[in-house]
Amino acid sequence: MREKALKTELVKGMKSVGALKYGRFVLSSGKVSDYYVDVKLASSFPEILSLISTLMKRVAIKLDFNRIAGVAVGGIPIATSLSLETGIPLLVVRKKRKEYGTKNLVEGLFGEGDVAIIVEDVTTTGNSILDAASVLRNEGVDVNDAIVVVDREEGAKEKLKNVGINLHSILSADELKVID
């Protein structure tokens, strides 16, 4: 299926399950928005998650990496699905170190010189991707690219570019608004 048709199907699916909401929302960045994209809700539906991973795979196969790093919480199901699609090992990046067990910030098998793409659900400012990249880089894993389902187009791309990370998105804020 053509990319535009897949994107249209994805947006329609997200709308049909109530994952696109309109009103007044405070985002994790602290910014206020008149719409909210609940990719966590959308990705809980297998058919929508499958569309997301199909579209992500089309982006990912053009990139150089050997690990897929999902950002907790929204990026985990998407990264897992992409890992299943590609056969590339999964890493889970925690937002904070757990105080029990191994106390790892990164779960999964990785080593010095591995290259990960970061997978996230939505980005506004890019801060959660920056945080994940910092954790991975401190562990010796290179990060050159991140893929998100939705880029709200509020500065993340530029901020990430400044630290050597290329941001790729499945959908832009503008595409969400024009696809019925």
Q: Note the pLDDT tens digit of each residue in 92-134.
A: 999 887 777 778 899 999 998 999 999 999 999 999 999 999 9
CA angle in degrees (0–180, nearest 5) for 138-141-142: 105
pLDDT of residue 115: 98
pLDDT of residue 1: 76
pLDDT of residue 98: 72
pLDDT of residue 40: 96
Distance of CA 173 to CAs 14, 20, 83, 89, 106, Å? 14, 11, 26, 30, 30
pTM score: 0.94
* Beta carbons within 10 angstroms of residue 9's beta carbon: 17
pLDDT of 178 strictly over 80: no
pLDDT of residue 180: 61
Buried b (16+ CB within 10 A) or exposed e, 116-140: bbbbbbbbbbbebbbebbebbeebe
SS3 3: helix
pLDDT of 65 strictly over 70: yes
pLDDT of residue 28: 82
